[in-house]
Amino acid sequence: MDWAATLRQRWRRWRRPRTLGEQGEEVATRFLKRQGYLILARGDRGRLGEIDIVAVDQRTVVFVEVKTRRSHAKGHPADAVDDAKQRRLTMLALQYMKRHRLLDTARARFDIVAITWPRDRKPTIAHYRNAFEAVGQGQMFH
C-alpha cells in the first residue's frame, strides 16, 4: 500500500465516531442527505448547548435533534426531547438564525431523528418532521 492510501486509512479510522451518539449523528446525516436535505452544520455550539444538525429542506431551515439508544428499555429515543430540551433548542436555533441573518428571510422547523441501534444489528431510524413548535421566550417561528 502506498503512503497516501495508508494516510487515508488512518484518517478514516481517526475520524470514525466513537460514542453511540456520534455514530447516531453520522447515520442521521447520511439518512437526511438521502432524503434530499442539504446539511449546513453539525454540532453547532451556542451558549446553551449544541444543535446536532442544521439542514435545509426545500426553503426551510431545519434544526435536527438526534437521539440514539440501544433499546427502548427506558422509553423511545424521541421521548428524551422533553420541554426543557425543546426550550433550549428553540433558543439555540434563534441564536443560529440571528448569527446567520436568517430571521427575516427563512422559515424554520424542528425535526427529531430517533435511532434505535441494538448491538450487532442495523439501526432503525424514525424521522419526525416538525416534531415540536418553538417554545419559550423569543419565539421566532409562525
pTM (two decimals): 0.83
Do the domain assignments include residue 4? no
SS3 57: strand
Alpha carbon 49 to its chain centroid, in Å, reads: 13
Q: How many structural domains is the chain composed of?
A: 1
Do the domain assignments include residue 70? yes
Do the domain assignments include residue 115? yes
One-letter amino acid identity for 107?
Answer: R
Residue 70 backbone class (left: φ over 0; alpha: ψ -120 to 50; beta: rest): alpha
Do the domain assignments include residue 1? no
Do the domain assignments include residue 36? yes
Do the domain assignments include residue 142? no
**Averaged pLDDT, 49-55:** 96
Q: Who contacts 87 (Cβ-Cβ below 8 Å, separation ≥6)?
A: 135, 136
Write out the E strands in 31-75.
Answer: 38-46, 49-57, 60-69
User: 3 versus 75: which is more confidently predicted?
Assistant: 75
Q: Who contacts 107 (Cβ-Cβ below 8 Å, separation ≥6)?
A: 59, 60, 61, 141
> Does 16 have pLDDT greater than 70?
no
For residue 64, the domain's CATH number is 3.40.1350.10
Range of the domain at 38: 20-132
Q: What pLDDT, on the 0 to 100 scale, is given for residue 93?
A: 96
Is the CB of residue 63 less than 8 Å from the CB of residue 92? yes
Do the domain assignments include residue 14? no
Q: What pLDDT, on the 0 to 100 scale, is given for residue 20?
A: 87
pLDDT tens digit string along 20-40?
A: 889 999 999 999 999 999 999
**Averaged pLDDT, 101-110:** 91
Do the domain assignments include residue 82? yes
- Whole-number Å distance between alpha carbons of 126 and 136: 26
Q: Which residues make beta-bridge pairs with 41?
A: 54
